[in-house]
């Protein structure tokens, strides 16, 4: 009999995409190697660094004996400079002789749950480490283990992308995207996605400008909609839109609208609940 806890949790989702060898086995292998190498990543702001505390392969296996999930403990901390201490009372610089360089300060921890078959990571919205720093760490660390191989993108809230797609007029759009995993697109979007993949670029930037009187062509299954749809799991877009015929122009930055996945209850345990939920929504 299943154990049910009516404890609602809210999660951000991160898409992990290997540019080559997009198999569950490869994702499992690289994440375990990430733990073995444990590269130190310096975050771009705040003077902090990140590394792993633990990595645990789940005990539930798929038909190929790959773990259905991987639990990851990520740390953020400040590396101490033993020559940068100061006594504010005596107003003197202090040098800490024989300082243990493995001792760090201001530690924060976040638990990540990786679903290899869906190449998706779930992290709580109230994570102690910011979403931006988590994405930065994963991108830097994975590409240290396997250079120029991985794209890491926050999955965007669909409603904000639909606001662009359904707008009365789009006058400007900028996109920073990569191609999707195979089989995730249809129609012109699939053809466009295939050309991006064949081009061999890691990331692609697009800029298109129109005007209020001559907006961009926003036809169904056209270029603009394809770019917006690809950005949901593979990048972000910035757009200037006129939502209604008589409305004012407004700016949208999709990176400010990460998807929030609400899980209303925990069934058996958090790992299996996240696994079953993500498998039902991410293909």
Q: What is the DSSP string of 108-172?
A: EEEEEEEEGGGTEEEEETT-SS-HHHHHHHHHHHHHHHSTT-EEEEEPBPHHHHHHHHT-SEEEE
Residue 71 contacts residue 56 (beta carbons within 8 Å): yes
d(CA 183, CA 190): 8
pLDDT value for 188: 64
pLDDT value for 1: 57
pLDDT value for 187: 65
pLDDT value for 46: 86
Distances (CA, A) of 228 to 47, 158, 186, 221: 34, 10, 14, 11
Residue 192 contacts residue 223 (beta carbons within 8 Å): yes
pLDDT value for 83: 86
Distances (CA, A) of 174 to 21, 165, 229: 29, 14, 13
pLDDT value for 192: 72
- How many residues in total does the chain contain? 283
pLDDT below 70 — which residues of the chain?
Answer: 1-2, 181-189, 198, 200-201, 221, 283
Can you give the pTM of this predicted structure?
A: 0.90
């Amino acid at each position: 009999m299943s154990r049910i806890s009516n404890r609602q949790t809210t999660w951000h989702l991160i898409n992990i995409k290997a540019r080559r060898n997009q198999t569950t086995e490869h994702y499992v292998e690289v994440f375990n190697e990430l733990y073995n190498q444990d590269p130190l990543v310096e975050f771009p702001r705040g003077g902090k660094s990140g590394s792993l505390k633990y990595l645990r392969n789940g005990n539930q296996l798929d038909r190929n004996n790959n773990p259905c999930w991987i639990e990851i403990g990520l740390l953020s901390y400040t590396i101490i400079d033993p020559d940068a201490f100061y006594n504010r009372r005596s107003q003197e610089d202090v040098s800490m002789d024989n300082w243990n360089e493995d001792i760090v300060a201001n530690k924060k921890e976040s638990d990540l749950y990786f679903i290899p078959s869906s190449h998706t990571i779930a992290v709580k919205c109230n994570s102690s480490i910011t979403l931006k720093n988590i994405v930065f760490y994963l991108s830097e660390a994975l590409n240290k283990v396997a250079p120029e191989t991985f794209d890491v993108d926050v999955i965007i809230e669909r409603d904000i992308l639909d606001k662009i797609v359904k707008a009365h007029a789009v006058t400007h759009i900028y996109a920073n995207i990569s191609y999707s995993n195979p089989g995730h697109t249809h129609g012109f979007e699939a053809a466009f996605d295939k050309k991006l993949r064949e081009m061999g670029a890691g990331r692609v930037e697009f800029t298109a400008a129109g005007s209020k009187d001559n907006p961009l062509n926003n036809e169904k299954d056209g270029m603009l909609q394809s770019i917006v749809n690809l950005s949901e799991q593979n990048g972000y877009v910035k757009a200037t839109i006129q939502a209604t015929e008589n409305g004012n122009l407004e700016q949208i930055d999709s990176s400010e609208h990460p998807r929030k996945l609400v899980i209303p209850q925990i069934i058996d345990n958090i790992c299996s609940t996240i696994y079953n939920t993500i498998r039902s929504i991410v293909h």
